[in-house]
Homo-oligomer: A and B are copies of this chain.
Amino acid sequence: MKKAGILGGGQLGRMLLQQAANYPVETWVMENDPECPAAHLCHHFVQGDITSFDDVYAFGKNLDVLTIEIESVNEDALQKLEEEGVKIYPRPAALKIIKNKMLQKAFYKAHQIPSSEFVITERREDLQQHAYLLPAVHKLAMGGYDGRGVQVLKQAADFKLGFDELSVLEKMVEIKKEISIIIGINEVGQTAIYEPVDMVFDPALNLLSYQVSPAQLPEKVLWKAEAMALAVVRALKSPGIFAVELFTDFADNVWVNETAPRVHNSGHHSIEACFSSQFDMLWRIMLDYPLGNTEHIMQAAIVNLLGAEGFTGPVKYEGLETILKMDNVFVHLYGKTHTKPGRKMGHITILSNEKQERLHKANLIRETLFVKSI
| A1-59 with Cβ < 8 A to chain B | 1, 14-15, 17-18, 21-25, 27, 40-43
Interface flag for A112 (CB, 8 Å): no
* Cα–Cα, bound, A337→B25 (Å): 10
Are B324's CB and A290's CB within 8 A? yes
Interface string of A116-140 (1 = CB under 8 A from B): 0000000000000000000000000
The stretch that binds B, out of A97-105, A234-242, A327-335, is A327-335
Total residues of chain A contacting the partner, CB 8 A: 39
Interface string of A264-302 (1 = CB under 8 A from B): 000000000001000000001000011011010110000
Are A351's CB and B275's CB within 8 A? yes
Q: A21-B18, A275-B328, A331-B22 are in contact. Are A27 and B40 (CB under 8 A)?
A: yes
| Residues in B whose Cβ lies below 8 Å from that of A193 | none
| Residues in B whose Cβ lies below 8 Å from that of A27 | 40
| Residues in B whose Cβ lies below 8 Å from that of A22 | 330-333
Q: Select which of B23, B40, B351 is within 8 A of A297 by beta carbon.
A: B351
Q: A275-B327, A295-B327, A351-B297 are in contact. Are A321 and B290 (CB under 8 A)?
A: yes
Interface flag for A320 (CB, 8 Å): yes
Are B23's CB and A41's CB within 8 A? no
Q: Select which of B23, B42, B315, B328 is within 8 A of A40 by beta carbon.
A: B42
* Cα–Cα, bound, A320→B23 (Å): 11
Are A297's CB and B298's CB within 8 A? yes
Q: Select which of B290, B315, B324, B330 is within 8 A of A325 by beta carbon.
A: B290
| Residues in B whose Cβ lies below 8 Å from that of A330 | 22, 275
Q: A275-B327, A295-B327, A351-B275 are in contact. Are A333 and B24 (CB under 8 A)?
A: yes
* Cα–Cα, bound, A42→B21 (Å): 12
| Residues in B whose Cβ lies below 8 Å from that of A297 | 297-298, 351
A214 to chain B, nearest CB (A): 17
Are A327's CB and B293's CB within 8 A? yes
Q: A331-B23, A335-B24 are in contact. Are A289 and B321 (CB under 8 A)?
A: yes
Are B1's CB and A337's CB within 8 A? yes
* Cα–Cα, bound, A121→B21 (Å): 43
A3 to chain B, nearest CB (A): 13
| Residues in B whose Cβ lies below 8 Å from that of A289 | 320-321, 324
Residue in chain B with minimal CB distance to A329? B275
| Residues in B whose Cβ lies below 8 Å from that of A275 | 327-328, 330, 351
Given contacts A284-B324, A295-B327, 17 further A-B contacts (CB under 8 A): A1-B337, A17-B21, A17-B41, A21-B335, A24-B315, A24-B333, A25-B335, A27-B40, A40-B41, A275-B330, A289-B324, A290-B321, A290-B324, A290-B325, A292-B324, A297-B297, A297-B298
Are B1's CB and A21's CB within 8 A? no
A365 to chain B, nearest CB (A): 15
> Looking at A21, A275, A292, A330, which has the most chain B CB atoms within 10 Å of its CB?
A21
* Cα–Cα, bound, A358→B79 (Å): 46
Q: List 16 contacting pairs A-B, 8 Å CB cutoff, sorted by A.
A: A1-B335, A14-B21, A15-B21, A17-B21, A17-B41, A21-B41, A22-B330, A23-B335, A25-B335, A41-B41, A289-B320, A290-B324, A290-B325, A293-B327, A293-B328, A297-B297
* Cα–Cα, bound, A18→B23 (Å): 12
* Cα–Cα, bound, A337→B337 (Å): 34
